[in-house]
Amino acid sequence: MCQSEKPHGPELQAAAKWLHFPQLALRRRLGQLSCMSRPALKLRSWPLTILYYLLPFGALRPLSRVGWRPVSRVALYKSVPTRLLSRAWGRLNQVELPYWLRRPVYSLYIWTFGVNMTEAAVEDLHHYRNLSEFFRRKLKPQARPVCGLHSVISPSDGKILTFGQVKNCEVEQVKGVTYSLESFLGPRTYTEDLSFPPASSRDSFRNQLVTREGNELYHCVIYLAPGDYHCFHSPTDWTVSHRRHFPGSLMSVNPGMARWIKELFCHNERVVLSGDWKHGFFSLTAVGATNVGSIRIYFDQDLHTNSPRYSKGSYNDLSFVTHANKEGIPMRKGEHLGEFNLGSTIVLIFEAPKDFNFRLKAGQKIRFGEALGSL
């Protein structure tokens, strides 16, 4: 029985040299990369990082032995030009579809996301000239009766992610993941036209918002899926006195991504409407997302979202309290307030007495007009 010959002498040395060549070459290449500027290094590392996460069986893990480390998944996702993609998607949505193509395109969307077209004010798919009109379709008046027995109703269709009292100035993004209330709403700057008083330096941010003794601060987060009704309404009778627009990223806000990226809602573009209701402070925030660069507030013609350029961390304010209008914009419960271009998230933060009770369960589906809670 023949045995295979084992290499020895010069052959063994040649084989060892050949086996060590990839690691030597990688070390040399990584040494070259270390001399690059940070932006150039990041640019050259991304393709390798993408392969690192996509290839099966950890094919590129041996690279870690020679000093290379992949960019984190979060950093990799944040580097995606979501604002540019969202603007491109918005342009595509405005393109008028040929009459014969409308039914198959919209039918595919209806089938994919489970849209209930029997609720639409116009059920004929040929009526919608482009995707944007279809996304922003109106409902039949009787499709969403507004609950009159409870003080706060759902402003939109969607899924309840979290709700409850605000504790330690932190709000739950999803269960177990929080973000800073002050980072989300922005600093409270005192002006004559705002309803909240100035606070001393020793007061917490929460105390700046809670205007009445014995009240608590509450929050509720509603996620709108792509198949949901995309308009949102006033959740109660209140007066809007101020708008703050934060330009920012447009990352996905689905619950899986919200668990993955801390303070996601603080990174994303958002429009904060604040004012007061019968129990004190009240705010509604529309949070943008990927392909949802367009946030529209019906009474605010000066609002323009997803602009090509913005300064990170910046915001712009607009007061609805003027010399001619001393109170602001009055909103009735259930009144049309605004719309998204696809689907996103609405965050309610408001002041109420301690006996306010939510009538919700985390994860439940809810429709516009249904009760969120009451006293």
Which one-letter DSSP state was computed for residue 166? Answer: -
User: First and final CA of the chain: distance in angstroms?
Assistant: 91
Write the CB contacts of 346 (distance below 8 Å, at least 6 apart in sequence): 155, 156, 158, 221, 222, 224, 232, 284, 285, 286, 287
Asked if 162 and 350 count as a contact pair (C-beta separation under 8 A), the reply is: no
Candidates 132, 157, 241, 279; catalytic one: 157
Candidates 151, 154, 219, 233; catalytic one: 233
Asked if 226 and 342 count as a contact pair (C-beta separation under 8 A), the reply is: yes
Which one-letter DSSP state was computed for residue 282? Answer: E
Catalytic site includes residue 344: yes
Candidates 86, 234, 249, 344; catalytic one: 344
Asked if 268 and 289 count as a contact pair (C-beta separation under 8 A), the reply is: yes
CA quadruple 90, 223, 298, 206: dihedral, nearest 10:
-130
Catalytic site includes residue 124: no
Of 281, 280, 263, 283, nearest to 272 (Cα)?
A: 283
In one-letter notation, the amino acid at residue 348 is: L
Which one-letter DSSP state was computed for residue 31? Answer: H
Strands (E) in the chain, as ranges, are: 152-153, 158-165, 170-174, 177-180, 215-223, 231-233, 238-246, 270-277, 280-287, 295-297, 316-319, 329-331, 336-340, 345-353, 357-358, 365-366, 371-374
Catalytic site includes residue 157: yes
**Three-state DSSP class for residue 25:** helix
**Three-state DSSP class for residue 251:** coil
Active site residues: 157, 233, 344
